[in-house]
Structure 1
Amino acid sequence: MQSSADEKRTKEHARPGRPRALVLVNAKSRLGADVADSAGDLLGSRGLDVRVEDCNQSGGLSSLIRRFADRVDLVIVGGGDGTMNAAAAGLIETRLPLGILPLGTGNDLARTLGLPLTLEAAADVIAAGHQAEIDVGEVNGLPFFNVASIGLSAELAVSLTGDLKRRWGRFGYAIAAMRVLTHAKPFRATIRSADGSARVVTLQVAVGNGRFYGGGNVIRSDARIDDANLDLYSLEMTRAWKLALMARSFRIGEHGAWREVRQVRAEEFDVITRRPKPVNADGEIITRTPARFRVLPKAVRVFVPKPEPSAP
């Protein structure tokens, strides 16, 4: 149900000929509670006909998008990467363009797209109207924007509680990672792609669709979210402490240079483990192994900054 305050904002900003925007702000995201009540006014003042809908539970985002698909021209989602993930299925199905208000902890999708991380500047990008088509990853039929992983990151997703993120922000990742690394154990997996099959002993298998993940790490130095490929890496080492030596490599996407890291680029992957293991996608546990990954090229339209004109 739409609140009386939201109904008032919708009427105030409804004018003929203005783009109709469905606005969904996750009040439970790190900064969402602070802007949930003001997002309608912020966007309405930039020429949009705003309809604000309550979405305190991110699980209902795609349903809301489907419900209002024939009444709006675009969808604006405020939240973190988990919130964007929850909206992905509805966006793919309806083909409505996505405007992003980055209100989470890592905001990795926003970073991949080159979006400003301040609310006002992000709203300006949406109002400017420039769009791009981006790929979406899929694991066992479920979409993800940034990365899906098995092993350390899945354990990290469980340890990185909402309270930890709200209190420490991006430093919460480091705190949770220290907890996970203390008890990390390698596991056996089979990785299959067009390049062949490999049996590995690994601490983590990660499959990236975008560029950034995990609060600013880079999946691969030349990774793009519009190249119709996925990028896999596998951490094939027995001692988790060595990851500390590789920290800078992860930040710039050059961890593939280490001999303990397997790196593969392909359109599809299968990852099989002896026992089912959880799969973390965009910070949320969404499925378990065996896991089939594939890329959905140009599956979502999104508002991005207009590219700077190239020099003559």
Structure 2
Amino acid sequence: MTKSLARRRALMLVNPNARRGGEGLDSLVARLAEGGVDAVVERFETPDEVSADIVRRQHEADLVIVCGGDGTINSAAKGVLATGLPMGILPMGTANDLARTLAIPEDLLAAADIITAGATRRIDLGEVNGHPFFNVASIGVAADLARGLTREAKRRWGKLGYALAAIKVLASARPFSAQIISGSGRVRVRTLQIAVGNGVHYGGGAIVHQDATIEDGHLDLYSLELRNVWKFGLMLGAFRRGEHGAWHEVRTVKDTEFDIRTRKPRPVNTDGDIVTTTPAHFVIRPSAVTVFAPA
């Protein structure tokens, strides 16, 4: 394990409701201290507290460590963006898609070693109607899934909970009309889902696009324009590999900015939580956040 020459102070924000939020904090704090990082643990009750706490305590810390899943990391985005503090990730959630994108292991002690090693990357941040996201923002099936997937189901069933909830949502899914506006023009679609990705992974390991990275300065959009919802079952492998654009029912567009308009407001899900509604304006913030990741 690489040790720092100078000790660093960390604000360690813990989501006690995360699927692994109760695991071995003492051993993690000790492991960080061995590597020269002195962590002050703060538990929070609501996501709104996270960024506010980072901003309020920025002068007490050299870095922020977020302990939780993708929703918890998302709640820290505005704080790290405002302060410029580098962010470490201890993946304690169900899907841990950002950790997967950054090659941060689910073994928490190994993830702590990445923070103490000190190697960092500058990554992009997506934004929809002023709300940041690291992985993906969705309208349609995934937003309905986010509303129906309870905290209890995540804790009890883990990734299987996503699959069970997805089957239930797909059974009742109906296409909706939308207008997609980008630098290449505007198009009207009938779709089950529009997803706009900033990172690589989402939904517990699916890939936004086979060529996507979280450092390419672009957003990757796809629109799922199926007439028969059950055909989606045949496409699952392609979605897991990011090759869904090969199906003619899937429209894909890469750009730095999108507008999505619908006849009536529809909920928008970012990194697992509903945060806004359409009309939705998407933009990319290139190299906006510094994260600790494997060299």
Separation (CA, whole Å) in 1 of partners of 2:184 and 2:265: 24
The residue number in structure 1 matching 2:41 is 52
State whether residues 16 and 22 of structure 2, in contact with CA within 8 Å, keep that contact through their aligned partners in structure 1: yes
Partner residue of 1:302 out of 282, 288, 291: 291
3-state SS of paired residue (1:123):
helix
Partner residue of 2:15 out of 3, 8, 26: 26
Deviation at 1:35, TM superposition (A): 3.5
TM (norm. structure 2) is 0.96
The residue number in structure 2 matching 1:216 is 205
Partner residue of 2:175 out of 174, 186, 191: 186
The residue number in structure 1 matching 2:271 is 282
Unaligned stretches of 5+ residues in structure 1: 1-15, 307-312
Deviations 1:148-167 (A, max 9, x none): 00000000001111111111
3-state SS of paired residue (1:70):
helix
Deviation at 1:53, TM superposition (A): 1.3
TM (norm. structure 1) is 0.91
Report the AA paired with residue 184 of structure 2. Answer: D
Instruction: Within 5 Å, give how 1:219-258 maps onto structure 2.
Output: 219-258=208-247
3-state SS of paired residue (2:233):
helix
Partner residue of 2:156 out of 163, 167, 170: 167
State whether residues 222 and 252 of structure 2, in contact with CA within 8 Å, keep that contact through their aligned partners in structure 1: yes
Report the AA paired with residue 31 of structure 1. Answer: R
Note if 1:137 corresponds to 2:108: no
The residue number in structure 1 matching 2:60 is 71
3-state SS of paired residue (2:22):
helix
Report the AA paired with residue 175 of structure 1. Answer: L
Separation (CA, whole Å) in 1 of partners of 2:39 and 2:25: 13
The residue number in structure 2 matching 1:11 is none
After TM superposition, the structure 1 stretch with the greater mean CA deviation from structure 2, 38-47 or 184-193, is 38-47
Partner residue of 1:292 out of 281, 286, 291: 281
Separation (CA, whole Å) in 1 of partners of 2:26 and 2:36: 18
The residue number in structure 1 matching 2:76 is 87
State whether residues 58 and 86 of structure 1, in contact with CA within 8 Å, keep that contact through their aligned partners in structure 2: yes
Report the AA paired with residue 202 of structure 2. Answer: Y
Deviations 1:56-112 (A, max 9, x none): 322210001001111110000000000000000001110100000000000000000
The residue number in structure 2 matching 1:207 is 196
Separation (CA, whole Å) in 1 of partners of 2:116 and 2:249: 46
Deviations 1:211-254 (A, max 9, x none): 00000000000100000000000001122111100000000000
The residue number in structure 2 matching 1:6 is none
Separation (CA, whole Å) in 1 of partners of 2:68 and 2:193: 27
Deviation at 1:266, TM superposition (A): 0.0
Deviations 1:36-56 (A, max 9, x none): 455433322322121111213
Deviation at 1:117, TM superposition (A): 1.3
Instruction: Within 5 Å, give how 1:147-162 maps onto structure 2.
Output: 147-162=136-151
Report the AA paired with residue 163 of structure 1. Answer: E
The residue number in structure 2 matching 1:5 is none
Separation (CA, whole Å) in 1 of partners of 2:47 and 2:245: 34
State whether residues 207 and 232 of structure 1, in contact with CA within 8 Å, keep that contact through their aligned partners in structure 2: yes
Quote the RMSD (CA, aligned, Å).
Answer: 1.2
Report the AA paired with residue 276 of structure 1. Answer: P
Partner residue of 1:107 out of 78, 96, 100: 96
3-state SS of paired residue (2:88):
strand
